[in-house]
Structure 1
Amino acid sequence: MSPDWSAMFTFSVSPLEIFIRGSTVYWFIFVLLRVAGRRDVGSFGVADMLVLVLIADAAQNAMAGEYKSIVDGLVLVSTIVGWTVVVDRVSYFVRPVGRLLASDRVCLVHDGVIARRNLRREYITEEELMSELRVRGIADLGEVHRAYIEADGNISVLKRRARD
């Protein structure tokens, strides 16, 4: 059985429809992951994970033949990458948009005292926080000036300065 060369390289669906479908799915998942929070994402950025999953699925469909043509998949992958580039550039150049699309850091420890409300808001237990602090070589909360959960889900720690 020989390949159908003309079917592989012609559109089986309107490129505009592919663009609209890809854009809709991209923004739906982006907002969904943004609302769900950064805790479950870890050090992977939400946009990074989103692009990876969507491109993998779009490319798989194009390669496996769920689309009737390769160019359908290429348009979808291009749409996903295009939105990623647009979001990154707009977030960088238009500060209010960047603040809207990116998570702020949240203080978890302030001068050795756990900010319990912020821990609850980020769904982090005290045990998880203390585990993260121990990984960074901190055995006692008194050693911590500030600890933040960053936009990418990592916890950063600023130690107290040694008193003379």
Structure 2
Amino acid sequence: MSLRAIVVFFAALAIIRMGNHRIFGKNTAFDIILGIIYGSVLSRAITGNSPFWPTIFAALTLVILHKILAVAAYHSSFGFGNMIKGKPKALVKDGELQRDTMRSSSVTENDIKEALRNAGHKPEISSIYRAYLERSGDISIVCKE
């Protein structure tokens, strides 16, 4: 069951990384996967659908795997962190919308204007130096001087 938990973790992480990052709120896909699988595995222990101790060990395996991967991502210098947790995507450069990135990330111009308003700025794209879709799904904005 622990081996299956590891396989499902990586499969789910790969699937989520291919999807739309904005559906996850403030968490990275890396963290969401742990929450989903962890809850599912532990529910089996609660409902008795699986043997109790192997289920607990599978859940523990997932948490330990998450911790090991997080530490490896932190200490990695060859992009392992970006592979596991994702990386920001540039949506605006020097006031110019990056339409291909926006399209592939399902971000509209209105989403960027909303982020400007939330940051207390006028909703004018031309005032943006850089805007990024962060790993968490948030849009961060650096305005021109």
Please confirm whether the aligned pair reaches a TM-score higher than 0.5, indicating the same fold: yes
For structure 1, the 5+ residue unaligned runs are 1-17
Contact 2:26 2:137 (C-alpha < 8 Å) held by counterparts: yes
Distance in 2 of aligned mates of 1:118 and 1:90: 28
CA distance in 1, matches of 2:66, 2:59: 11
TM normalised by structure 1 equals 0.80
Secondary structure at the residue paired with 1:148?
Answer: strand
Structure 1 residue 142 displacement after superposition: 2.6
Where does the alignment leave 5 or more consecutive residues of structure 2 unmatched? none
Percentage of pairs with the same residue: 21
Give 1:47 deviation, angstroms: 1.6
In structure 2, the residue matched to 1:105 is: 88
Partner of 1:117: 100
Q: Which residue of 1 aligns with 2:73?
A: 91
Compare CA radii of gyration and give the structure with the larger one: 1
Residues in 2 aligned to 1:45 and 1:103: alpha-carbon distance in whole angstroms: 8
Please report how far the alpha carbon of residue 151 of structure 1 lies from its aligned counterpart in structure 2 after TM superposition.
1.6
129, 132, 140: which one aligns with 1:145: 129
String of CA shifts for 1:81-116, please: whole Å, max 9, x gaps. 121012111112222222332322111112222111
- SS of 2:7 mapped into structure 1: helix
TM-score norm. by structure 2 comes to 0.89
Q: Secondary structure at the match of 1:40?
A: helix
Matched pairs, number = 143
Q: Which has the higher helix share?
A: 2
Deviation at 1:29, TM superposition (A): 0.3
